[in-house]
Amino acid sequence: MCVSSRLSAAFPSRHMSSRLLPVAKDSPFIFDMAKNGPFQLCFLLMKLVGITKPGRDDRPTVVYSVQMATLFLMVYLWASLTITMKDPEADIITKLETGLYGVGLTHITCKLMFLRASSVDLVSLLEEMEVGWSEALERPRDRGLMARAERQSGMVPRGLTVMFTVTCLCAFGLATLTGNEPYPGILVPFDRITSPLMHSTIQSLAMFLLVCILLVFYTILASVTLQLSTHIQILCEDLKDIGSDEAGCPEAAEGFRGCVRLHHKIIRY
């Protein structure tokens, strides 16, 4: 039996697309911005500190402090990258190391913001479905899906943000220890108080540790992406089943198409 009467209360038809999948509506803009790297970075950093649009809930001051610190570190790392790349006396290891700071962490920032938005919007969609389709989604798999998505919605904004900030701090510390800071005199370059051999060894070790940190972060992001993809794929199957029953349910069919679009974008990203 179609649940369109309940859906009408939960999802007004004229707002169906915008309420179901805000990410699907915003994603084309985000993906178009990906072609213009610096502009995408600025846009996502503005979202990171809550400048472009307020969040769904009032986040604590601590979270904003962490986000502002992350923004400062990203600006610092990009300044370091720009100055180091233009320095004719900088060796190839220093340039490669600094490039990893800027490019690697920026790429992670973009992925992190996309996953955070996708996770929050997925949970909002599930909460609205739970209200509108309380009788249609009675299988244990659906209830488990909602519980897992709710737990994940807490993990992505908090856990990954903290880990990302720690990674930025590690990169900041490694840049200081290896003498890559862009403002001589503010911080003591490590190569002035060590022998050339020790400095070269520490510089190589710092680069190795940075690569390990980036690999760990990419592994975590890949895992979260896979989990979100699985959640949305299961949701697509349920919406397809509801939309293909005898009575027919156009709202479920519309939701199914929106979920498929979101699923494809997450996989492609």
In this prediction, residues 240-252 reach a mean pLDDT of 55
Q: Is the pLDDT of residue 58 over 50?
A: no
The answer to whether position 12 is within a domain reads no
The answer to whether position 190 is within a domain reads yes
8-state DSSP, 180 = -
Q: Which amino acid is at 191?
A: D
The answer to whether position 172 is within a domain reads yes
Q: How far is CA 182 from CA 21, 154, 175, 190, in A?
A: 43, 36, 9, 13
The answer to whether position 82 is within a domain reads yes
What is the C-alpha to C-alpha distance for residues 192 and 181, in angstroms, rounded to an integer?
A: 13
* Ranges 76-85, 133-142, 244-253: which has the least confidence: 133-142
| Helix 92-99 / helix 161-177 crossing angle, nearest 10 deg | 160
**Number of residues written out for the chain:** 269
* Ranges 6-20, 76-90, 95-109: which has the least confidence: 6-20
In this prediction, residues 258-267 reach a mean pLDDT of 60
The pLDDT of residue 216 is 72
* Ranges 75-89, 166-180, 197-211: which has the least confidence: 166-180
8-state DSSP, 155 = I
133 touches 242 (CB < 8 A)? yes
In this prediction, residues 25-54 reach a mean pLDDT of 42
Q: Is the pLDDT of residue 43 over 50?
A: no
* Other CB atoms within 10 Å distance of the CB of residue 52: 11
Host domain of residue 168? 21-268
The answer to whether position 122 is within a domain reads yes
The pLDDT of residue 212 is 73
The answer to whether position 98 is within a domain reads yes
Strand partners, 184: 187
The answer to whether position 42 is within a domain reads yes
108 touches 218 (CB < 8 A)? yes
Count how many domains the chain has. Answer: 1
What is the C-alpha to C-alpha distance for residues 149 and 117, in angstroms, rounded to an integer?
A: 13
What would the DSSP string read from start to end of 160-196? IHHHHHHHHHHHHHHHHHTT--SSBTTB--GGGSS-H
In this prediction, residues 243-252 reach a mean pLDDT of 53
69 touches 52 (CB < 8 A)? no
What is the C-alpha to C-alpha distance for residues 153 and 254, in angstroms, rounded to an integer?
A: 24
Strand partners, 187: 184
The pLDDT of residue 84 is 63
220 touches 160 (CB < 8 A)? yes
Of the pLDDT bands very low, low, confident and very high (cuts 50, 70, 90), residue 17 is very low
The pLDDT of residue 14 is 34
* 172-193 pLDDT, tens digit each: 565 555 554 443 433 445 545 5
The answer to whether position 174 is within a domain reads yes
